[in-house]
Structure 1
Amino acid sequence: MLGDFLEKLFNRFLWFPFITAYIVLSGLVWYAISQMDWGNLKKTPIPVIIVASVLSILAALLFWWSYKETAKSLRFKRDFSESDKDLVKATDALDIMSKIGNQITKCISEPFSTANNHYTFHSICWLIRAFMINERSKDPKVVLFIPNEEESHLEPCGWANHSTRIQKFTLKISQENAAGFTYMTGEPYYLPDVNAPGVRFERNSYSNNSFCSLVTVPVKCGNEVIGVLSVTGQEKNSYNESEDIPYLRAFANALSPLVTHHLLGRKGVCGEHRETVGSKRTDHL
C-alpha cells in the first residue's frame, strides 16, 4: 500500500524524491560538520565549510540533472506508450474491417434475405461496439439507421447493446436531430453532451438506456447518403472527435455494399440487377 502511494506521489510530483534526497543529504553533511571538535583543529573551519558548501551545490546539480533525465525518460515512455496504443488500435480496426468484409461478402453471395441482412447488420454493429470501448466509454451502443421506403424517416436496421424496443424508434429526417442532420448533409456530427442546450438530439422514448455522448457518421454509396451509423456513450466526452470519427467513417464505408444490397432488394431490383450483370458477362465471354 505504501509502495502504491509513493508511486502515485512520484507520478504526480516528479521532483519530490529528488528534493527529499537532497534535503536529507544536506542535513547529514551539516550535522556531521556540527559534531566536529573545532577546538582541536589546527586549521580554521572556513575551508571545511567551503568544501561542504561546494559538495552541497554539486549534489544539487547532480539531483537536478537526474531529475531532468528522469523526466525525459518518462516523457519518452509515455509517448511510446501512446504510440503503442495507437498501433494496437489501428491493428484492431484492420482486423474488424477484414471481418466486416468477410461477413458482407458471404451475405451478398447468398440469395437475398431481409432476415439474413439484418443478422449481418447486427453482427457488424457488435464488432463496431467492441472497437469503440475505451477508457472514456465503457459501455457504448451502436445503431445503423437506413431510410424507410418513403424516405421520410430513418429506421434502425441493425444495433448492438440496445434492447429490441429500439425497433419502434424511428427518426424523422430533419436537421433537428443528429442522425437526420448527418443523413441530409453527409457530414459527421459529434455531441460530447446530449443534454447541452441547442444540440441536435431527439430522445428515444422507447428505450430506458441513458447516455451522454453521441456521434453519427454517414454511410455513403458514392456521394449519395444511404444510411447513418450512430454510436452513443454513457459518459460525457466519451469519444475523441479527431481519433474516433475517422475509424467510424471507415466502418461506415465498409457497410456501404451491404446497405446498398439491402435497399435494392427491398425495392425488388436486386435479383433483376444480378441477372442483367450476369447476362452481360456471359455475352462478353
Structure 2
Amino acid sequence: MPATIVTRFAPSPTGRLHLGHAHSALLGWRAARAAGGRFLLRLEDIDPARCRPEYAAGIVQDLAWLGLDWDGPVRVQSEHLPEYRAALNRLEGMGLLYPCFCTRADIAREVAAIGHAPHGPDGLLYPGTCRRLSAAERAERLARGEAYALRLDMGAALRRAPTPLSFLELGEGRIRCDPARFGDVVLARKDTPASYHLCVTHDDALQGVTLVTRAEDLRPATDLHRLLQALLRWPAPRYRHHRLLLGPDGRRLSKRDKAPTLAALREAGRSPAEVRAMARWPDA
C-alpha cells in the first residue's frame, strides 16, 4: 500500500444517509486516519432530477454528528461540469464516442426483434443501432436537433486500450477486468451531462485518490473504470470493496426500501457511538 493513503466517501444527495452509508464512510475514514492519510468528501450530484440541496446539507450534518472529519473542501460535482465535458472531448477526439438517438422504447423494440435480451452490470445491453449510422445520417439527425446520448464505442475502446486490464483488490490481489460486458455504455445524456462512470474516474484521478473504498455492489463497475483510466491515462488506485450492510430481513439497506436514516436514529435519541456500533464499526 502506498505511504500516503487518500480515500474518499462519495455519496449522491438523493436522500438522507442510512447505516449502510455510515458503514462505508467509517471504513474509508478509518483507513485514511490509521495511516496518517487523507479522507475526502465528495457529493456526486450530477443527476439534477434526483439530487437536492437539502440532502447534500444533511450528508454533511450526519457525517459531522458521527464524528467524521475530512480534508479540504467538499467537492460538488455539479460545480465542475466543464471538466467532465473536457474529458468527453478527449474521448471524442480519439473517435471513441458516438451520438445515440435511441429512446428506451426504441432499444426495447430492437432487443425484442433480436429475440433475446442480453444484460450487463448496468442492465440491458445496447444493441449498437446508432453505432451503425453513417456519418451523413448522424449529421442530418444532429442538424435536426434530435436529442441524443453519447455512448462509448466499446469495441474501438478495447482496441485502443492496453490489455489485459486489471485492478488491485486489497486482500485478494490483482483481478482481471472485462469491460466488454458493459457494451456501448452511455457516458453523457442531455439531462445528465456526464455519467457516474466518467465523473468518478475523473475525480479520483484529479483528487489523487489512492484507495477506493466502496460497497461490493459497485465492484463490477471497476472493470469499466479501469478502461476509462487507461484510455485517459489516469492513474489506477487500489480498491477495497466491502460487504453490504444488511437489515434484519437479510436485505441490503437502501434508500429505496426506506432504511432507517441517521437523522431518524439521532432524533430517536441514539448517540453517535451507538450508531457507529450499529453500523458494525470497527468490525469489517
Per the normalisation by structure 1, the TM-score is 0.25
Larger Rg: 1 or 2? Answer: 1
TM-score (norm 2): 0.25
Using CA pairs under 8 Å that are at least 6 residues apart, name the structure with larger relative contact order, 1 or 2.
Answer: 2
